[in-house]
Amino acid sequence: MLAARKLLFGLSASAALAVMGAASAPAAASAQTLKAVRDRGALNCGVSQGLAGFSIADDKGQWSGLDVDLCRAIAAAVFNDPAKVAFVPLSPSERFSALQVGKIDVLARNSTWTMSRETEFKLNFVGVNYYDGQGFLVHKTPEIASALELDGAKVCVQSDTTNADNLGDFFKNNNLKFELVPAASPAEALKAYADGRCSVLTSDVSQLYAQRLQLAKATDHTILPDVISKEPLAPVVRQRDDDWMMIVKWTLYAMINAEELGVNSKNIDEALKSKKPDVMRLVGNEGTYGEDLGLTKDWAVRIIKHVGNYGEVYERNIGEASKLKIPRGLNQLWNNGGIQYAPPIR
């Protein structure tokens, strides 16, 4: 109940009542997401309020990022049009309730897959689109080379995140003391750090890369080598709508499988002529995989053509072609030293 009450924060009274109703009512009403999306003519995709590399809007209101591209890929699969997405920016505290009450169809917002977020909130995390971990950003100084040297530090962290919970565990496990400086947004956390109200900023490492770039002298700050948690970031849907869950899941897996098979947005037309069985299944020239999902036979072609494979999306948003330049690391494919692994299309 405590968790339920916590979750209701940040919602209007009517939305909160709807959540409470939803908790006891059968979930059959929600098993219609694909139809609702089609009838509306657009996908409502929950994203962050602004996190470079994952989901951020420019001054013209144009969204970009790894999570944003997943939203676009779902729209491409359903509508053959990646633009048919309404992006709904959500804070950490409102993201899951927005999904529960149907304000969004899918949450693609750097959210860590945890057990209680599934069991308590009645949601399903669908597949990991970014393997992250929590780290620490500090001012460069020879005295601090590891997080184990942070005893007594003031640490800025965004509230209502796994990061705030992990922080306590890490310091407790290592018998260290710390003072928590809570922030309501990444901008607030960064400002507190820049103003010296804390000497350490903690969040998912990918976010620290993005936040460091916003500091006046980025090179004066370093991300410590310690990674203190597993943060598998994954898109989320409501429970008991398996048809919709499969569409979101296989959209992500089509992108990962396409990279593994060497199929990308530039060579997709040649891939359509391929005689390799696994490429033929991916592009819909063998089997009825798309139709069986409730989509068209060319569902994956639409995704790859309009948005790209996983590697292309990674590179342009957070990899070498982006400002963040985060090495692929764990997010490399399984056959290339990483753990990104999609079940086969067959």
Ligand X SMILES: N[C@@H](CCC(=O)N[C@@H](CS)C(=O)NCC(=O)O)C(=O)O
Q: Which amino acid is at 219?
A: T
Number of residues that bind ligand X (CB under 6 A): 20
Output the CA torsion sign for 230, 234, 240, 242: negative
Q: Which part of the chain contacts ligand X (CB under 6 A), choosing from 18-26, 46-54, 192-200, 249-257?
A: 46-54
Contact with ligand X (CB under 6 A) among 64, 110, 317, 331:
110
The alpha-carbon radius of gyration of the chain (Å, integer) is 21
Within 82-213, residue ranges assigned H as helices are: 95-100, 115-119, 162-173, 186-194, 205-213
The reply to whether 49 sits near ligand X by the rule CB under 6 A is: yes
The reply to whether 331 sits near ligand X by the rule CB under 6 A is: no
Q: Closest approach of Cβ 98 to ligand X, in Å?
A: 12
> Residues with Cβ < 8 Å from 175, sequence gap 6 or more?
none
The reply to whether 91 sits near ligand X by the rule CB under 6 A is: yes
Q: Contacts with ligand X in 177-236 (CB under 6 A)?
A: 185-186, 203-204, 207, 231, 233
Which of residues 47 and 246 has its CB atom nearest to ligand X in the complex?
47
Element (H, E) at 203: strand 200-204
The reply to whether 133 sits near ligand X by the rule CB under 6 A is: no
Which of residues 158 and 257 has its CB atom nearest to ligand X in the complex?
158
Tokens of 92: 């950490």
Q: Which part of the chain contacts ligand X (CB under 6 A), choosing from 146-154, 159-167, 282-290, 333-341?
A: 159-167
Q: Closest approach of Cβ 113 to ligand X, in Å?
A: 8
Which of residues 158 and 199 has its CB atom nearest to ligand X in the complex?
158
Tokens of 29: 């009403």
Output the CA torsion sign for 47, 51, 193, 324: positive
Q: Closest approach of Cβ 318 to ligand X, in Å?
A: 14
Which of residues 104 and 268 has its CB atom nearest to ligand X in the complex?
104
- Parallel, antiparallel, or unpaired: how do β-strands 130-132 and 56-57 relate? unpaired
Within 25-65, residue ranges assigned H as helices are: 33-40
Q: Closest approach of Cβ 185 to ligand X, in Å?
A: 5
The reply to whether 309 sits near ligand X by the rule CB under 6 A is: no
Which of residues 193 and 299 has its CB atom nearest to ligand X in the complex?
193
Q: Which part of the chain contacts ligand X (CB under 6 A), choosing from 10-18, 49-57, 76-84, 172-180?
A: 49-57
Q: Closest approach of Cβ 203 to ligand X, in Å?
A: 5
Tokens of 9: 């924060």
Contact with ligand X (CB under 6 A) among 30, 158, 206, 340:
158
Nearest CA-CA partner of 85 in 53, 46, 48: 46
Q: Which part of the chain contacts ligand X (CB under 6 A), choosing from 26-34, 38-46, 158-166, 334-342?
A: 158-166
Number of residue whose CB is nearest ligand X: 49
The reply to whether 64 sits near ligand X by the rule CB under 6 A is: no
Q: Closest approach of Cβ 173 to ligand X, in Å?
A: 19
The reply to whether 97 sits near ligand X by the rule CB under 6 A is: no
The reply to whether 92 sits near ligand X by the rule CB under 6 A is: yes
Residues at the site binding ligand X, with contacts judged by CB under 6 A: 48-51, 91-92, 110-112, 158, 161-163, 185-186, 203-204, 207, 231, 233
